């Protein structure tokens, strides 16, 4: 069954189209049953992940020195991950920056990251970090 541009639609072709659509619809398998029985739900706990995000305060970096970065947030559960993305605050970066989250510092109220501007960099550089904390 084909529909050609410019050809008027007739009832027979539309009826044939509807029949084909019904055939396709009836051939799609149905998943699951219409009745679902849930048993033994008394000992089940449902938990939902909490995701917190924000932007840290600016810190000034000094070539060759590691600087502590405080990440402050408040969560209902112990975080399982803290993810950082650097953002320029001040100055022009002339060197490379390394950073990591101190895993022993991760608490429900905040964490600490260490940030290092390589020693061959010229001048200082201000940096902030976008953070995402996954809890639960």
pTM as predicted = 0.61
The domain limits of the chain are 50-135
CB under 8 A, 24+ apart: contacts of 101-107: 101/71, 106/78, 106/79, 106/82, 107/78, 107/79
Phi and psi dihedrals of 21, rounded to 5? -65, -40
Give the per-residue pLDDT at 106: 93
Q: In Å, how far from its chain's centre is CA 6?
A: 49
Note the pLDDT of residue 46. Answer: 56
Q: Which fold has domain 50-135?
A: Immunoglobulin-like (2.60.40)
Q: pLDDT (tens digit, 9 = 90+) per residue, 54-93?
A: 999 999 988 888 999 999 998 888 899 999 999 988 888 7
Integer angstrom CA distances of residue 115 from 25, 60, 67, 106, 123: 59, 10, 5, 16, 16
| 119 confidence band (pLDDT: 50, 70, 90) | confident
């Amino acid at each position: 069954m084909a529909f050609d541009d410019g050809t008027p639609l007739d009832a027979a072709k539309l009826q044939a189209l509807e029949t084909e659509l019904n055939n396709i619809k009836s051939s799609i398998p149905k998943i699951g049953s219409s009745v679902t029985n849930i048993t033994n739900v008394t000992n089940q706990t449902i938990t939902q992940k909490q995701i917190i995000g924000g932007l840290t305060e600016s810190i000034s970096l000094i070539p060759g020195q590691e600087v502590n970065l405080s990440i402050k947030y408040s969560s209902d559960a112990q975080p399982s991950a803290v993810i950082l993305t650097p953002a320029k605050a001040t100055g022009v970066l002339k060197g490379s920056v390394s950073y990591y989250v101190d895993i022993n510092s991760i608490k429900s109220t905040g964490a600490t990251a260490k940030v290092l501007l390589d020693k061959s960099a010229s001048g200082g550089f201000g940096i902030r970090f976008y953070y995402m904390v996954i809890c639960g």
